[in-house]
Amino acid sequence: MTDKPDSYSGFNEYNPLLDTDSLKYDTDLQQAVLKTSHGRRAPPTGLAGAGTAQKGGFFSRMKNIFGRQKTTAVPPPGTSSGRLGTASRAAQQQNSVIGAPPGSASRRLQTGSATGQRRPTTAVQGAGFTTGALGSGTTTLGPSQFERKEETNEDKAKKLERTVLDLVEESCLAYEKNDTKLALEKSEEAMRNEKSLNRYREEQNLGESDLNLTGFVILHCANMLAKCGMNSEAMNQYNLILKNKLLPVPSRLRINIGNIFLRSKQYTKALKMYRMALDQIPEQNADLKFKVRENIAATHILMTQYAEAAQAYESIMQERPNYRSGLNLLLCYHTLGQRDKTRRAFSDLLKIPFLSSDDDYQASVDKADKHANLVLEATRDDRLRQFERKRRRFAEHVIVTAAKIVGNNSDGDFVGGYEWCIEQVRNSTYLELASGLEIQKAIAYLREDNFPKAISTLKEFEKAEAKLASAASTNLSFLYFLEKDLNNAHKYADLALKTDKFNPASLTNKGNCCYAQEDYDKARYYYEEALNIDAGSVEALHNLILTLMKSKQYQRVKDLLHKYTIIQPTNAQVFCLMAEVLEHTNDIDNAKSWYLQALSTHRMDGHLHRRIGEVIDVQGDKSDAIQYYFDAFRHNPCDIKTLEWLASYYIETQYPEKAVEFCAQAALVKPGEIKWHLMVASCYRRTGDYTAALEKYKWIHQHFPDDTDCIQFLVKISTDLGLPEREIYENELKKVNKMKEIQLQRKSSADKSRNIVKGRKISQVENDGSHSKHDDNRQLSGRKRAPIDLDHTEGVFSQQEPVAVPSFVNQLSQDMTGGRPRTAILKKDQNKSLFDENDDAAELLP
């Protein structure tokens, strides 16, 4: 049976702001009232404690309560004092305690006076009688408790102490907000105020200063100095506390000093401080002792004293096993090459109790019980659950890392090492990690370039649980993508997405396959989906930027690159992508600034120097560009584009002796390209060193005997120098030209035959030419190219038609910014000799 609701409940409830009974005890309100115009008025002539006849409202009544001196004498005759009620005289006597209000009847106004004198400004005359007990029954209150007191020296000292504590609290809050500068300033200000407090106490003879407060403030300031990297100043403050014994915990101070020595790489002093702190820590504080012992073991590792570190970690694992100490012990044994002890340390790690997964915490709750469901929903992702997940992820990371170390520490037989680890994990409480180790074994096969084994291992997970099947399919898709098997890459990417459609790695693999097939719209879709699931996926973001650049959506690329710089603010590749986009939008100045920003992080990158030089060259400032090209050549002397630009620059500026160096370097980088050798020989000719030029041409002719240009240069130099080898080179030139004509005829015949086989139409002119080909080969060859008749010409190379441009000239780089430099060969005058005295080596340049 339910209780009936109370009909009268709630009537006694009211807002606490309307409670005026305690206002008389509120010192702040008293001081505020006293400072107002009501508080500065003179007290009334009537009884101060009994209420006056004036109508002043709330503040008028309050000023009669606060801080007025009370008189015990009877008021003089003729004054308008309130008479006491007949029923409240005894009550007034009882309420004469300080601060107690008079009775209700005492608030009535008096109708007469004691002497019968007429009251002024009233319409009612007094009755003329008096009460004999009035004088004896009238009592007044003593000095008010709300009277403003003068602040003493002790109060001032307490106020200063409160200020110091407030500054320390503000410093702590600033440090929590990662504002170390403000935290340090507040801590130093607190220390200055604490010194002022000590001086004030000494001057006012208030006793000795509080050493605990002094030590506390100095300790906080020392901690802030250490957080800001001011190690020497922090060390001085810590030593000051230890020297004066300001705090009763010297062990913690020595731990802090040891940490400072450790950061300063003074490992011996840090080890000494840790051991002194370990001796001073009481036995009751076992947790702190274990942490100090872990610091000592870690210091031994930094000092490369792995045997001592292993001994320290062994004692810790025997008393209090934990993941961090167990992994460090395994690493020490691995470094010392003790394979058996490494496996024993791995077994000890598996003996540590494993936290249960979130599925084990799912309680069976009735759906109708709303309260239980709300509690379950509130605890599903609370701070304790988050802490448990974090510990579980750390434990999994430690076990997998240890398995990798043991598997690779098996004397080359990593397969046997992984098999042993998987067997040990399956026999422990970490059974669910065994499948993950199988995937790690497949990755180990990849490191050994054993792709078939890796693929076969990963294919075993196709019918496993969803999480493992998705991971295996993702890895398989990536493997096939690396092998350029796009069909299987698509297949396993789709399988991974079918298993887990919210896997960003699978979406990225699918986008990569579409990108390789130049299907940029689909690739963009998959990359965007991956970013919607995981906004921090750098791979998907980078590939999306490349896809949008292919589609020439430069404005969106800029927005994504700004996001990319926020995720990776020091990635030079992002800066180069931004500069490339700005180059496409003709914003050369900003592109240059982004390249310079990338160069600030990679000073030794020759490619970046060359790119900046190209940007400056586009602006027309060759004097500034050549400096960056020189730096590019200094950092990367094998870059053909850099060598090409430098050689072209010096040939244009008529400094062939400097161009020789870069042409020779290019000839060393690509010895199979004849153009660089010809440029070297041509530079020798330009400088007047005909002997070196002749030797270089002979070397070229020896290695490239079918090159007509080299033979022509040999004929020219032999003629100029009057060498007897001229006739030999002329005969060789005839043979080479005839051989090329025959090759050209054969090629044309083969092309026509191929066209006939394919069923193409051939014009009547071509048919006539094909029928007369066998009858008159000379006419056909004359129609293609007339050979040079050396016996009926004036001079060696004064033929009627110009020599065709060599094929290697058309194969030069197409991204040179400048046009083709001028040459000394005048093609307008067909009758002049091709190689005269003003021949220029720039003919060989783009």
Q: Mind listing the pLDDT tens digit for each residue in 116-126?
A: 445 555 555 55
Most distant CA atoms of the chain, gap in Å: 170
Burial of 465 (0-12, 13-18, 19+ CB in 10 A): exposed
Distance, CA of 194 to CA of 160 (rounded, Å)? 8
The answer to whether the beta carbons of residues 667 and 677 sit under 8 Å apart is yes
Residue with tokens 């998907």: 540
**Which positions ≥6 away from 532 have C-beta within 8 Å?**
none
Kindly give the parts of the chain with pLDDT less than 50: 1-2, 45-117, 132-144, 760-766, 768-846
Distance, CA of 827 to CA of 728 (rounded, Å)? 28
pLDDT for position 472: 83
Residue with tokens 């986009």: 581
Closest to 444 in 3D by CA, of 457, 434, 432, 431: 457
* Sheet strands (E) in 17-131: none
The answer to whether the beta carbons of residues 845 and 651 sit under 8 Å apart is yes
pLDDT for position 442: 82
Residue with tokens 């400096």: 627
Q: Cα 563 from chain centroid? A: 12
- Helices and strands, number each (H, E), in the chain: 37, 0
Helix axes 538-550, 504-516, angle to 10 degrees: 30
- 800 by DSSP, 3-state: which? coil
pLDDT for position 609: 92
The stretches of 177-266 forming alpha helices (DSSP H) are 180-203, 211-227, 231-244, 250-263
Residues in the chain: 846
Closest to 410 in 3D by CA, of 421, 397, 401: 421
The answer to whether the beta carbons of residues 15 and 68 sit under 8 Å apart is no
pLDDT for position 32: 78
Distance, CA of 495 to CA of 458 (rounded, Å)? 13
The answer to whether the beta carbons of residues 382 and 397 sit under 8 Å apart is no
The encoded tokens of residue 773 equal: 């080909």
The answer to whether the beta carbons of residues 270 and 258 sit under 8 Å apart is yes
pLDDT for position 101: 45
Distance, CA of 367 to CA of 662 (rounded, Å)? 82
Distance, CA of 68 to CA of 21 (rounded, Å)? 19
Residue with tokens 């980088």: 669
Start-to-end CA distance of the chain, whole Å, equals 105
pLDDT for position 50: 40
The answer to whether the beta carbons of residues 433 and 399 sit under 8 Å apart is yes
How distant, in Å, are the alpha carbons of 573, 681, 710, 720 from that of 700? 42, 9, 7, 19
pLDDT for position 306: 93
The answer to whether the beta carbons of residues 461 and 499 sit under 8 Å apart is no
Phi-psi region of 208 (alpha: psi -120 to 50; beta: other; left: phi over 0): beta
Residue with tokens 């031994």: 300
